[in-house]
Amino acid sequence: VHAARQIARGQYNEPVVVAGDQEFRELAQSFIAMQTGIREREQRIVEQATRDSLTGLANRFALRELLEARRSGDEAFSVALIDVHRFRDLNASVGHHVGDQLLRALAQRLRLLAGTPEFCARVGVDQFMVCMPLHDTEVLHRVLIMADELRRGLNVERTNLNVEIRVGIAEWRAPHAPVDYLLRQADVALVEAKARNTQAVVYEPGHDAEHRRRITRVAELRRAIAGNGLSLAYQPL
């Protein structure tokens, strides 16, 4: 009864020791086997819920938990949102198998950049995030070195693939700010890097206004196209 209650509470490590005849000993062994089975299944469920199956990196859910745990810290801390430039075109040209191998090789390179696997995550099909206890300018320096290395080529399946990346970097200047605030800043910086066609951009407060202006302009353009609201003002010859 005690062993059953322990299992019901989610405690599977306490051994079941029963003194008595053969039937009780067999029952104890069954409880031990059940404990082991439940523990292993729960470990697999947690692994599937927090890990990316392709690269072995943390996923977005695990990354958020990591960042939440660091909200109370006072040391410098920055994140880099890394996008593989034109990955879909690359995937289509070399095949999905080589594309998967490329993502695994890139994940390994990002582990070296972060210094610890826990600070690395795959947050999208072709996007990764690296967290580092550094100022944004220090992260920028490291990212640019890695970007140059990737441009010179990454050996995948005996093929040298030139990989371009775009990176948005944001520093957690207010440790108690919400995690979503930090992630949004990195995303805005990445959009800015893509717009400038440059390797990496560090978030600045002015980027928010520019980002909103672009979104508004695109929305207005769509409405103008749908409502036949465009007129030709100048025709170059």
pLDDT number for residue 234: 84
State pLDDT tens for residues 103-135: 999 999 999 888 877 789 999 999 999 999 999
pLDDT at 47 over 70: no
Instruction: Answer yes or no: is pLDDT of 214 > 80.
Output: no
Judged by DSSP in three states, 144 sits in helix
- Contact yes or no for 157/177 (Cβ under 8 A): no
Mean pLDDT, the chain, integer: 85
At 41 the pLDDT is 78
- For 49, residues 6+ apart whose C-beta sits below 8 A from its C-beta are 61
Say what the pLDDT of residue 21 is.
77
pLDDT at position 78: 93
pLDDT at residue 204, as a whole number = 86
> pLDDT per residue over 146-183, tens digit each?
999 999 988 888 888 999 999 999 998 876 788 998 99
Q: How confident is the model at residue 211 (pLDDT cuts 50, 70, 90)?
A: low
pLDDT at 40 over 90: no
Residue 70 carries which side chain, given as an amino acid letter?
R
> Among the residues of the chain, which ranges form H helices?
2-8, 22-50, 60-69, 87-94, 96-114, 136-152, 179-196, 206-226
pLDDT for the residue numbered 201: 93
Residue 71: the pLDDT is 84
pLDDT at 118: 78
pLDDT at 49: 66
Does the structure show a pLDDT above 90 at 202?
Answer: yes
What is the distance between the alpha carbons of residues 176 and 161, in angstroms, rounded to a whole number?
41
pTM metric for this prediction? 0.72
Q: In what order do the strands lie in the sheet with 200-202?
A: 120-122, 127-132, 78-84, 165-171, 200-202
154-163, 205-214, 227-236: which range is least confident on average? 205-214
Per DSSP, the three-state class of 66 is helix
Instruction: Please say whether the beta carbons of 136 and 49 come within 8 A.
Output: no
Q: Is there a contact between 193 and 201 (Cβ–Cβ < 8 Å)?
A: yes
Residue 75: pLDDT over 90:
no
Gap between the Cα atoms of 19 and 31, Å rounded: 14
Among 16-25, 65-74, 192-201, the minimum mean pLDDT is found in: 16-25
Per the DSSP assignment, residues forming a β-bridge with 99 are none
